[in-house]
Amino acid sequence: MRNLILIVLLVIVPITSSQGQTLAVLKYDGGGDWYSNPTALKNLIQFSNTHGATKLKLKPKVVHPEDPALFSYPFIHMTGHGNVVFSDDALKNLNTYLIGGGFLHIDDNYGMKPYVLPQLKKLFPSKVLKEVPSDHPIFNLIFEFPDGLPKIHEHDGLAPQAMGIFHENRLILLCTFESDLSDGWEDQSVHKDPEDIRLKALQMGANIIKYAFEF
C-alpha cells in the first residue's frame, strides 16, 4: 500500500526541478531495437546540464512501460527502427504516467513510425496526434528554432515533423519524425555528423527536456 501511495503522489505532483532527477530510455516489446543510440541520452543530459540549467544525473536508466518505476522518471525517451507493441498493462501505465505529468519523447530512428502510430491510437483513443506548430514554446525555450524541428539525417528526404499529443493544453507526448534527433546526440564518432548539425540536435533536445520540467 505504501508503494502504491508513493506512485500516486509521483503521478499527481508536478516535477518542477531537475535537481538530482534521472531520465530513462523506454524498453518496449515487439522486437524493435529500443536500445538504438546507446550514447545518445547520456550525451544529451550532459549537454543539458551544461547549457540548459538542469542538474540531472548523468547516467540514464532503462525502464519497461509496465514497470511501476516508470513514475520515477519525469522524462522518458523512446527510439528504434522497428516494431512496437504495448500490452494492455503497458498502455494503462503509460496513460496514467502521461496524464499525471510525465513526458514521453519518441524519436523515429527510421522505420518505427508505421508501428508506433497504431500503438499511440490505443494509448489515447480520444486524442489526436497533431503537428506541433513552429511557434510552440518547445522550439524557443533555450535555443531558437523559428522554423521548427531541425533536420539531422536525410532518411527519405522529407521535411522533419514534430507531432504531439496534448492534454489540457500541455504537450505530454512528442514524436519526432524525419529528423533523427537521437542520432545527432550520439558520440560524434558513431555517425560522424558535422558539428553544426550535431549541435542543433543537442540544442533541440535540451529544449525538449526543459519543456518537460517546466510545463
Domains of the chain and CATH, by start: 17-214 (3.40.50.12140)
pLDDT at 153: 87
Q: Which residues pair with 106 in a beta bridge?
A: 78, 175
pLDDT at 8 over 80: no
- Above 60 in pLDDT, residue 15? no
pLDDT at 42: 97
Q: Are 107 and 113 in contact (CB under 8 A)?
A: no
pLDDT over threshold 70, residue 1: no
Residues with Cβ within 8 Å of 14's Cβ and at least 6 positions away in sequence, in order, are 101
Residue ranges in the chain assigned as alpha helix (H): 2-12, 40-51, 88-99, 113-123, 181-185, 188-191, 195-214
Q: What is the pLDDT of residue 166?
A: 98
Split at pLDDT 50, 70, 90, the class of 154 is confident
pLDDT at 189: 87
Cell matching residue 134: 513552429
Q: For residue 36, which phi and psi values (nearest 5 degrees)?
A: -55, 155
Which of these, 73, 49, 79, 51, lies nearest to 61 by C-alpha position?
Answer: 73
User: Residue with C-alpha cell 528526404?
Assistant: 157
Which set of grid coordinates corresponds to residue 104? 514521453
Average pLDDT (95-103) is 98
What is the structure's pLDDT at 132?
98
Grid coordinates in use for 63? 525502464
Radius of gyration of the chain (CA): 16
Residue 135 has pLDDT above 50, yes or no: yes
Longest dimension (CA), the chain: 52
Q: Which three cell numbers stand for residue 175?
A: 514524436
pLDDT band at 17 (very low <50, low <70, confident <90, very high): low
What is the rounded distance in angstroms from the CA atom of residue 104 to the CA atom of residue 40? 16
The residue ranking higher by pLDDT, 8 or 26, is 26
How many C-beta neighbours within 10 Å does residue 18 have?
Answer: 24
Mean pLDDT for the chain overall: 91
Are the C-beta atoms of residues 83 and 31 closer than 8 Å to each other?
yes
